[in-house]
């Protein structure tokens, strides 16, 4: 009798823990081009009380990684595969050069829809096929990589048809993305189905545009300059226990940070305005996340909803040439007139890490990650996981794990590449994740491979650099010449995935040289046609591919 009762209790306990019995809602929030230290709970001075509250009652991951670029991060997030691994095969057996497609995988929406979920996406798409062909029941947003107009975007779609603005509605795109995210969630509830909602905000991707009332909150707060703001963030990150007291921040000299003291007051005011507008864009995201959380609270769904928040890559240091900047500073950033970037401030956004978007050094790929799920995260609220490291491909196995879903071997007659990531669920319980392999990174010719604390990385096809991230998390002490065997080991691991899984095309399979990397800041060319008399051929002669020697 005792053993029968024990068996019955065990069975009941297992049934009660099955995700399919009471599957959580899942809301994945990805922002665009936001740096590691921008939000309050990761060290920033930008007001993000709603995200800070999610972190205070949830979990922060100290070492979470993107792919370093917009479209490849979206492919990896939605497919659970490396970007090229998911892509379409060419005739020679390598993957076609692509701008983000999922031809050899399935999407999170397809997997979770099979498990009974209502699936919806609101925001930026930037990959192919289109959302309704990738398992999503609903789509609001835009297909291209960014919008030029935050206040009256003309590229919006709703469920596959062009979207026409209503006369009285708020047209700021961040607000609209949330409006439809909430509508889709409420539709899932009305259908009595668990919801998978993917909110892909365009902000704070350029162009810098924000409502004036939000810009006004920050005007004047950045007049002390880049280095002062950077220092304040480092100090706050130490107080938050995100970084150690002995960390050495990345070099400002390497990235040719301009001298604030050499600026005129007019120039300082303009730089302050650029950062104030960028901060306002993030502030507005936080306001909208607050609206979403209130919807979850009022419906009683918050406790059993997993919310994941992260960025698709690090901040971009894209810089306008002098002529373009002079043109743009005449235009308002609280309307749809301007097309600006914030240049040097990216060094602040990515504090304390090195380099920027598209680079595989930490500043390009590391992201904040907040996980909030009262019913499923058992570590104390406000915890920071310093020991685990995760990347975007780990979200697919995590959701398969907690949602009672199955990842298929085939889908619609196609053979599907196997998942490459690991579940993050152990981290939610304060445990070590089961990561047996290292972490692979690539975008273009930029490359990296991390195994434990060791990271091999290169800028383009320059020579490989080696860092021990336990001792040197900001990649300042290259140990490659002292550890040639470690370099060879990690290099072989990188090339194995590049050739066997990614099947990279010849254009991006060039071997590394022995030359040291030379940093050149990214020169912003998009939008130069807005400036009368700005000749692109002359700019190429003057500036080349980078902005070395750019006018201040």
- Among 71, 82, 98, 126, the active-site one is 126
Q: Which helix (H) or strand (E) holds 48?
A: none
DSSP E strands, 266-411: 305-311, 366-372, 383-391, 410-411
Going by C-beta distance under 8 Å and a sequence separation of 6 or more, which residues neighbour residue 91?
none
- Residue 52, both tokens: 């800070």
CA 34 to CA 126: how far, in whole Å?
17
DSSP sequence for 191-227: TT--EEEEEE--TTSSS----HHHHHTTTTTTTT-HH
- 403 is annotated as an active-site residue: no
Q: Other C-beta atoms within 10 Å of 372: how many?
A: 24
Q: Which of 28, 30, 198, 29 is nearest to 122 (CA)?
A: 198
Going by C-beta distance under 8 Å and a sequence separation of 6 or more, which residues neighbour residue 277?
208, 209, 210, 215, 218, 333, 334, 340, 342
Q: Which of 346, 417, 347 is nearest to 33 (CA)?
A: 346
- Among 70, 153, 195, 403, the active-site one is 70
Please answer whether residues 202 and 208 qualify as being in contact, where contact means their C-beta atoms are separated by less than 8 angstroms.
no
Q: What angle do CA 348, 255, 275 make, to 5 degrees?
A: 30
Q: Which of 493, 424, 508 is nearest to 456 (CA)?
A: 493
State whether residue 356 is helix, strand or coil: coil
Going by C-beta distance under 8 Å and a sequence separation of 6 or more, which residues neighbour residue 326?
none
- 195 is annotated as an active-site residue: no
- Examine residue 207 and say whether the peptide bond preceding it is cis (omega within 30 degrees of 0): yes
CA 194 to CA 150: how far, in whole Å?
31
End-to-end CA distance of the chain: 84
Q: Which helix (H) or strand (E) holds 316?
A: none
CA distances to 317, 488, 535 from 542, rounded to whole Å, are 19, 40, 11
Say which residue the tokens 């810009």 belong to. Answer: 215
Please answer whether residues 134 and 110 qualify as being in contact, where contact means their C-beta atoms are separated by less than 8 angstroms.
yes
- Residue 194, both tokens: 């668990």
CA 505 to CA 524: how far, in whole Å?
27
CA 47 to CA 286: how far, in whole Å?
8
Say which residue the tokens 């690991």 belong to. Answer: 422
Catalytic machinery residues: 70, 126
């Amino acid at each position: 009798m005792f053993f029968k009762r024990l068996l019955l209790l065990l069975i009941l306990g297992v049934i009660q823990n099955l995700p399919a019995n009471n599957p959580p809602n899942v809301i994945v929030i990805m922002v665009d081009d936001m740096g590691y230290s921008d939000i309050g709970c990761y060290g920033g001075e930008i007001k993000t009380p709603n995200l800070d509250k999610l972190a205070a009652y949830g979990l922060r991951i100290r070492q979470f990684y993107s792919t370093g670029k917009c479209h490849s991060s979206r492919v990896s997030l939605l497919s659970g595969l490396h970007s090229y691994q998911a892509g379409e095969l060419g005739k020679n057996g390598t993957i076609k050069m692509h701008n983000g497609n999922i031809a050899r995988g399935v999407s999170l929406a397809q997997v979770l829809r099979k498990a009974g979920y209502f699936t919806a996406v609101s925001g930026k798409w930037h990959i192919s096929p289109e959302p309704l062909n990738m398992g999503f029941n609903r789509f609001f947003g835009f297909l291209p990589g960014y919008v030029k107009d935050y206040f009256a975007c003309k590229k919006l779609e709703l469920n596959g048809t062009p979207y026409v603005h209503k006369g009285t509605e708020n047209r700021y795109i961040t607000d609209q993305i949330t409006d439809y995210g909430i509508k889709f969630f409420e539709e899932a509830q009305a259908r009595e189905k668990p919801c998978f909602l993917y909110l892909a905000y365009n902000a704070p991707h350029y162009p810098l545009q924000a409502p004036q009332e939000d810009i006004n909150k920050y005007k004047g707060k950045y007049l002390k300059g880049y280095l002062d703001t950077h220092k304040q963030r480092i100090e706050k990150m130490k107080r938050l226990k995100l970084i150690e007291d002995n960390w050495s921040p990345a070099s400002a000299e390497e990235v040719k940070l301009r001298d604030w003291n050499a600026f005129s007051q007019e120039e300082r005011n303009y730089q302050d305005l650029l950062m104030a507008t960028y901060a306002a864009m993030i502030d507005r995201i936080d306001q909208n996340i607050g609206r979403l959380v209130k919807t979850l609270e009022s419906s009683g769904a918050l406790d059993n909803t997993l919310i994941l928040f992260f960025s698709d890559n690090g901040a971009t240091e894209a810089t306008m040439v002098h002529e373009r900047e002079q043109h743009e500073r005449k235009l308002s950033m609280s309307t749809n007139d301007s097309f600006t970037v914030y240049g040097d401030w990216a060094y602040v956004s990515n504090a304390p890490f090195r380099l920027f978007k598209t680079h595989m050094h930490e500043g390009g790929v590391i992201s904040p990650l907040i996980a909030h799920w009262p019913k499923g995260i058992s570590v104390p609220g406000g915890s920071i996981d310093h020991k685990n490291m995760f990347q975007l491909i780990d979200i697919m196995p995590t959701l398969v794990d907690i949602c009672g879903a199955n990842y298929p071997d085939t889908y619609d007659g196609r053979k599907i590449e196997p998942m490459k990531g690991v579940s993050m669920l152990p981290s939610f319980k304060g445990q070590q994740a089961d990561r047996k392999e290292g972490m692979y990174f690539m975008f273009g010719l930029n490359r990296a491979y991390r195994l434990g604390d060791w990271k091999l990385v290169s800028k383009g096809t320059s020579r490989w650099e080696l860092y021990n991230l336990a001792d040197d998390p900001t990649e300042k002490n290259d140990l490659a010449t002292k550890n040639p065997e470690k370099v060879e080991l990690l290099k072989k691991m990188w090339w194995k995935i590049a050739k066997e899984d990614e099947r990279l095309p010849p254009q991006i399979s060039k071997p590394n040289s022995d030359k040291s990397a030379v940093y050149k800041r990214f020169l912003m060319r998009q939008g130069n046609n807005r400036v009368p008399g700005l000749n692109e051929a002359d700019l190429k002669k003057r500036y080349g591919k980078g902005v070395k020697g750019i006018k201040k």
